[in-house]
Structure 1
């Protein structure tokens, strides 16, 4: 009896050992296949990584180095430590440019976002000609920035634009109003032109998000007597919250890095009234030949944008809905 039991235990032990060996072999094979897939994926990614390194990472690292040097843009760069950053702390022009960028952020986190939401919601309520209106809204976004800027410079020109046309009808509302030449109006006027070109993009992405919301939710809300505003607030906004949060992040970062419209229309004028940080950086690098100082300025701008993006990612990871 004992010998039979011992034989059974030995058989079980052999079976278990064989099973463990099979499992181990299967795991090894799966691990080998997984490693091959990872190596293959990295092999496909390597060319793009190299291009990214040459085009993005390489210049970024060089900018980081030059930020700690006194460099004119040509010749040898002399290491000066934190001197450029100490200069930034006392640079009135940089402080003023930072304020203009923050004002730009505030303007673009309110006006185009609100216009995009309202436009997308109204467009989502119609069925006929929706593609036509979507294309009309999006056309300004695909027109070259130089063309957009030239159009609005002509329209807002006090000598030959809207003011001239209104004068011919006896309306002198815009007489002596210099939208791009008045320090008090210049920044808001340039932001208006940028907003005109940009808000259609927000309409399209918000509309795409709204169309993914279950229509039955709106039907139930209408049955319960909810008006358009309540539908928008209680159904539409929660339904597009991820897209809305992402757009807020993008608009904030883009506003901190804005360059083209202020530079094309006013070159930072009049008297520095539209001189945002990137224009000040450009002037220091290419007009004043202070490339090292401009690199330090660019590094600060990039760090500021990275902080905003990091805060957004941190909030999302904590599960807080934006």
Structure 2
């Protein structure tokens, strides 16, 4: 018989309060978390700052695979929220975690999951503030509410673009969607000409988003609108165009892609177009006035987060058009990722 009453009747696993004390309280370093000993956190914003709040819910076999490494699941759950903060120009302050564990959860899995959270907390200077843990009736589910801070009135919205603004993007796009295709369809790599190195690259991009926190200062200083690419490049660019009341022209010859995606484009333009708009990139799209573009590029480079100009805003009401589409013509329709 277990000597710990909290483990009795739970298959030798820790009970709710022991679980919080052992695994989650060590992640709660902000005084406002109250050491996870109360029912809510108490947070005092830095004077002169606005709070920015965002939430993402991730479900097993919908946003990740149930047998993915626990460290990668933890990192993805936190990073997709950090990406939203980055697009607003906000610095991370803390997060709330809702964790619905499946019936067959193990303590080893939880150890690895919390290690993943701890590693990303250190990497991105954020701390756990509170949350809730339950037993799920339908597989693993993770809900994170991230809280950031931005100087008063400086949060960058998706709706501020003006005609003449230049559209920039960080990093490369399409890799994460290609990684998902590799994992779902064993014949995809062979048919698309992807090497083993290409496979590893795109799977890594699917498992581990790279939130562009280093770009927040440049966004606050220069951008008129910004958004992270979660639903797909074309879909999310369209969201910005509609919100800003402008038309958008994207030069597909300038869209930055990895060598793996260049190979995919050469062998299967249809699959390439689907990946380009497949989502899960978590790169930052931003509009910048033309006379601010050089300064934005320079600031982004100094921050170690290079950006690429890929289009422009024009007078209009939300249409997205393409230049240099070439063999992609006819494959660029579709709404991007949709939950429903």
Q: TM-score range by the shorter chain?
A: under 0.3
Higher strand share: 2
Q: Between Structure 1 and Structure 2, whose CA radius of gyration is higher? A: 1
